[in-house]
Amino acid sequence: MSAIEQLIAGYRRFRGGYYEVNRERMIDLARYGQFPQVAVIACCDSRVDPAVITDSTPGDLFVVRNVANLVPPCEGEGIWHGTSAALQFAVCGLKVEHLIVLGHARCGGIRSLLEGPGDREDDKFITDWMSIAEDARKRALDRADLSTLEEQAHACELEAIGISLANLETFPWIRERIEQNSLHLHGWYYDMMSGDLLQLDSSSGKFVSLY
């Protein structure tokens, strides 16, 4: 069975199983719209699905996915602002109460950031995008206690979450709602090997387990 055939078979199981069991909920979502209280900025890595990790159902999460779960700073240059546009819709349109930056272990985007840009022209989009987390790269590489690329990558993944959280506050409509206590920011980190989900503690600056 090909990959596409597997997807079609999966859809048919969904249509005859989950959809039928939850038909009323699905119809309500279609009829009345979505009202999620939580938005998640996650990586597009196929191994890290926010809905699966949090055991959420359709309508629970507004999910924004990109390479390495990065949030760019607020700026008016250029035209294409997919992540910023999605955030604006989530915050100003849907009025979510929580924004979660969900990082993860073994992130390919972070690894490419650490290894630096190569000579390949087809890496340009990734290189430009990952420059958002350049400060995270510098901090990880400057640490004398990290001796391997794996340790540096782990540190960089955590640092990048902090950078995205700081960048969120550069958007005036996010900062305003934080000051009004109607919006709350969270930094989470998922390790697919151990299954651990960590949360950034704002008072200590350290990640602590949510399990």
Q: What is the dihedral of CA 163, 165, 170, 171, to 10 degrees?
A: 140
CB of 184 within 8 A of CB of 168?
A: no
96, 97, 94: which is closest to 33 by C-alpha?
A: 94
| CATH architecture type of domain 34-209 | 3-Layer(aba) Sandwich (3.40)
**pLDDT attached to residue 177:** 98
Contact of 72 with 167, CB cutoff 8 Å: yes
Reduce the secondary structure of 108-173 to three states and give it as a string: HHHHHHHHCCCCCHHHHHHHHHHHHHHHHHHHHHHCCCCCCHHHHHHHHHHHHHHHHHHHHCCCHH
pLDDT reported for residue 122: 74
User: How many CB atoms lie under 10 A from the CB of residue 209?
Assistant: 9
173 phi and psi angles, rounded to 5 deg: -75, -15
From first to last of the 211 residues of the chain, give the pLDDT tens digit.
999 999 999 999 999 999 999 999 999 999 999 999 999 999 999 999 999 999 999 999 999 999 999 999 998 777 789 999 999 999 999 999 999 999 999 999 999 999 887 666 678 899 999 999 999 999 999 999 998 999 999 999 999 999 999 999 999 999 999 999 999 999 999 999 999 999 999 899 999 999 9
pLDDT at position 120 is 63
Residue 145's CB: how many other CB atoms inside 10 A? 6
CA dihedral 195, 204, 112, 88 (to 10 degrees): 90
Residue 64, pLDDT score: 98
Nearest alpha-carbon partner for 117 in 104, 128, 106, 133: 128
The pLDDT value given to residue 39: 98
- In this predicted structure, what is the pLDDT of residue 101? 98
pTM above 0.75, yes or no: yes
Question: Residue ranges per domain, the chain?
Answer: 1-33, 34-209
Q: What are the backbone dihedrals phi and psi of residue 154, each rounded to the nearest 5 degrees, phi first? A: -60, -45
Closest to 87 in 3D by CA, of 78, 77, 98: 98
**What pLDDT score does 119 carry?**
63
SS3 100: strand
